[in-house]
Amino acid sequence: MTVIEVLSGVLLAAGAFFVVTGAVGLVRFPDFYTRIHAVGVTDSAGAGLILLGLLLRTTEWEVGLRLLIILLFMVITSPTAAHTLAQAARRDGVPVWRAGDTRR
Amino acid sequence: MIGSHYVYWLTFALMMIGLYVVISHGNLIKKLIGLSLFQVAVFLFYISLGKVDGGTAPIITEGTQTYSHPLPHVLILTAIVVGVATLAVGLALVVRLFESYGSLEEDEILRRDTTDRDGVAS
Amino acid sequence: MTAFVLVNISLFAILGATALAITRMRALYEATMLTALFSLVTGSLFVLLDAVDVAFTEAAVGVGISTVLLLGVLSLTRSREAVTPRRRRLPAALVVLFAGGALGYAAQDLPPFGSATTPVRDHPVTETYLVQSQQDMGIPNTVTSVLASYRGLDTLGELVVVFTAGVTVLLLLGPLTRRNHPVKKDLVLADYRVLRVVSGVLMPFILLFALYVLFHGDYGAGGGFQAGVIFASGFVLYGLVFGLDRVQQVLPQAVLWVLIPLGLLLFMGLGVATVLLGGSFLDYDTLRPDDTAAGQRLGILLVETAIGLTVATVMTSVFFSFTGRGASR
């Protein structure tokens, strides 16, 4: 096993970890805004680290270029989606959870 | 037996969930959703019949000998697009029905049809 | 138990859970989003089962177009389902149990999953598709060569169905049946500045990607059907964000009405041309008698373009019909 393979494995594992934490957050967090925060982690840290880990394993530059393009579009689109969802919820008047409130 | 046929049984289970939605639910949009679940399960069944152990996608490359069968892929690829086109027709009919009857529930629409015919209420 | 089986079973478990949640859910917006999730997971399963072209189509169609259509209809109608009465549930459960039992019993006669010696595999046509196609046309992606050449007539039939469905939706909801009510000025997504800027930036890339998928279908996953759907989703995104009026300035209804039959006519015209050149219907060898493989590639390219044209315009005008209906209510 080379250094690159170990590094890629670590990145993939970290990415998988962030995806799982995002899922746990989606179930456990009390209101809409905190849940969106959790899901944002899945898209940015989770998918981003997995793509970086895969990038270290590629041998052909064409595949690497495609992974980089995917990464670029994920970086553009996923914050946009999260931002728009949160802004739409605010415009609709979804209340923000405060400590002591019940789960919604 | 279980090891070699489990995929078929799992696709049948999904198909039956879709069929249950189509039969039991009265809401027309829900029926269409159930129909598309059923349809996707049928697609999965077709594709699983083309899979070969140790095969790869049927794109010919150097150094690969085993490929999954391309024919189910071709059939299902076109069927997916035809499926969404027919879904659009179904949805258009639903919209027209809602505009005429003001309801999406099958029972409600049927009741209004029968009362109209008897001249009880129109 | 191999990793392949494990991943398969977990994906099927997610699919089953999603399907059960859809049956129980009475809020139809949520059910629609879960249907999109169902399609996405199915796409992953298709990749596992080596059907990359199918996975591509399912992801573009199931997650993109059909979700948007369902949401559009929900905004036109009612998004809450009535409670399903018990008298409807019992017969449905009986039918499902009986049919599922019959299917499961019959499945015992199917060849084992993944077997290399099934009747489908042993048929000589497999050899034609996987080996002979490399001499006939020299296209690595056998799905494309089967779709556009070996079974071109079949694909023509499918395209006719898509065309007919598109025309039906136009007749049911289209501008011809539009009622003239004052247009309700609704909140448009273009009020969100971030969304407006990002979708404006992404729009050319989506269309470029659609072209790449169309012309790269010979070598990798992709082809006319996927490209058409991606084209349409680009225009759907633009219409969702900037409103129907803006997108119809870019792509007027009249242009769509010309383009919808044009793709189909191109496909059929190619068939007629090959007959006139002395071959059989859709026999692309006659296009270049000196170099039949090049003729095949030319024919496949034309057919994929025709498919892309009709699918893209049908999907876009279906979306226009649904949203136009909402604007005129």
Q: Is C176 on the interface with B (CB under 8 A)?
A: no
CA–CA dist C131, C125 (Å, integer): 10
Q: Give yes or no for residue C83 having a pLDDT over 60.
A: yes
Tell me, what DSSP letter sits at residue A79?
H
CA–CA dist B3, C34 (Å, integer): 29
pLDDT of residue C167: 93
- When scoring C194, C208, C233 by the number of chain A Cβ atoms within 10 A, the one with the most, hence best to mutate, is C194
pLDDT tens series, chain A, 104 aa: 788 999 999 999 999 999 999 999 988 888 888 888 888 888 888 999 999 999 998 888 888 999 999 999 998 988 888 888 888 888 888 888 887 777 76
First CA to last CA distance, chain A: 48
Pick the closest to residue C128 from B58, A80, A47, A38 (CA basis). Answer: B58
Mean pLDDT, residues C109-138 taken together:
85
What angle in degrees, to the nearest 10, is found between the helix axes of B70-101 and C66-76? 10
For residue range B32-91, what is the model confidence (pLDDT) as tens digits? Answer: 999 999 999 999 999 998 888 888 888 888 877 788 889 999 999 999 999 999 999 999
> 3-state class of A31 per DSSP?
coil
Q: Give yes or no for residue C182 having a pLDDT over 50.
A: no
CA–CA dist C65, C233 (Å, integer): 7
- Please judge whether C12 and B14 are an interchain contact, meaning their C-beta atoms are less than 8 angstroms apart: yes
pLDDT over 90 percentage in chain C: 49
* Domain range enclosing B71: 2-118
For residue C7, how many other CB atoms are within 10 A of its CB? 13
Amino acid at C166: G
Q: Which residues of C touch B23 (CB under 8 A)?
A: 88, 91-92, 95-96
pLDDT over 90 percentage in chain B: 55
pLDDT of residue C178: 55
Structure tokens at A4: 């690159």
**Cα-based angle A49, A51, A52 (whole degrees, multiple of 5):** 65
- When scoring C1, C15, C90, C317 by the number of chain B Cβ atoms within 10 A, the one with the most, hence best to mutate, is C15
CA–CA dist C328, A101 (Å, integer): 43
Of residues B92 and C127, more confidence is placed in B92
pLDDT of residue C32: 94
pLDDT of residue B36: 94
pLDDT of residue C327: 62
pLDDT of residue A104: 66
Extents of the domains making up chain A: 3-92
How many domains are there within chain B?
A: 1
Q: Give yes or no for residue C228 having a pLDDT over 80.
A: yes
Q: Give yes or no for residue C233 having a pLDDT over 80.
A: yes
CA distance A92 to chain C (A): 12
Q: Give yes or no for residue C132 having a pLDDT over 90.
A: no
Q: Give yes or no for residue C254 having a pLDDT over 90.
A: no
Amino acid at C264: L
Mean pLDDT, residues C86-97 taken together:
89
Q: Give yes or no for residue C30 having a pLDDT over 80.
A: yes
Q: Give yes or no for residue C181 having a pLDDT over 50.
A: no
CA distance B114 to chain C (A): 19
Average pLDDT, chain C: 88
Q: Which helix (H) or strand (E) holds B71?
A: helix B70-101
pLDDT of residue C175: 67
For residue range C278-297, what is the model confidence (pLDDT) as tens digits? Answer: 888 888 888 888 888 889 99
Q: Is C189 on the interface with A (CB under 8 A)?
A: yes
Extents of the domains making up chain C: 123-329
Average pLDDT, chain B: 88
Q: Give yes or no for residue C17 having a pLDDT over 80.
A: yes
pLDDT of residue A99: 77
Q: What are phi and psi of C181, to 5 degrees?
A: -100, 155
pLDDT of residue B66: 84
Pick the closest to residue C23 from C96, C100, C103 (CA basis). Answer: C96
What value of ipTM does the predicted structure carry?
0.91
Structure tokens at C286: 């006659």
Three-state SS letters, chain C: CCHHHHHHHHHHHHHHHHHHHHHHCCEHHHHHHHHHHHHHHHHHHHHHCCCHHHHHHHHHHHHHHHHHHHHHHHHHCCCECCCCCHHHHHHHHHHHHHHHHHHHHHHHHCCCCECCCCHHHHCHHHHHHHHHHHHHCCCCEHHHHHHHHHCHHHHHHHHHHHHHHHHHHHHHHCHHHCCCCCCCCCCCHHHCHHHHHHHHHHHHHHHHHHHHHHHHCCCCCCCHHHHHHHHHHHHHHHHHHHCHHHHHHHCCHHHHHHHHHHHHHHHHHHHHHHHHCCCCCCCHHHHCCCCHHHHHHHHHHHHHHHHHHHHHHHHHHHHHHHHHHHHHC
Amino acid at A45: A
CA-CA distances (angstroms) from residue C268 to A63, C41, C85, C153?
37, 36, 50, 9
For residue range A30-54, what is the model confidence (pLDDT) as tens digits? Answer: 888 888 888 888 888 899 999 999 9
Nearest to B16 among C70, C99, C107 (CB): C99
pLDDT of residue B116: 64
Q: Give yes or no for residue C140 having a pLDDT over 60.
A: yes
Touch criterion met for B and C (3+ Cβ pairs within 8 Å)? yes
**Residues in Cβ contact with C235 at an 8 Å cutoff, skipping those fewer than 6 apart:** C247, C250, C251, C312, C316, C319
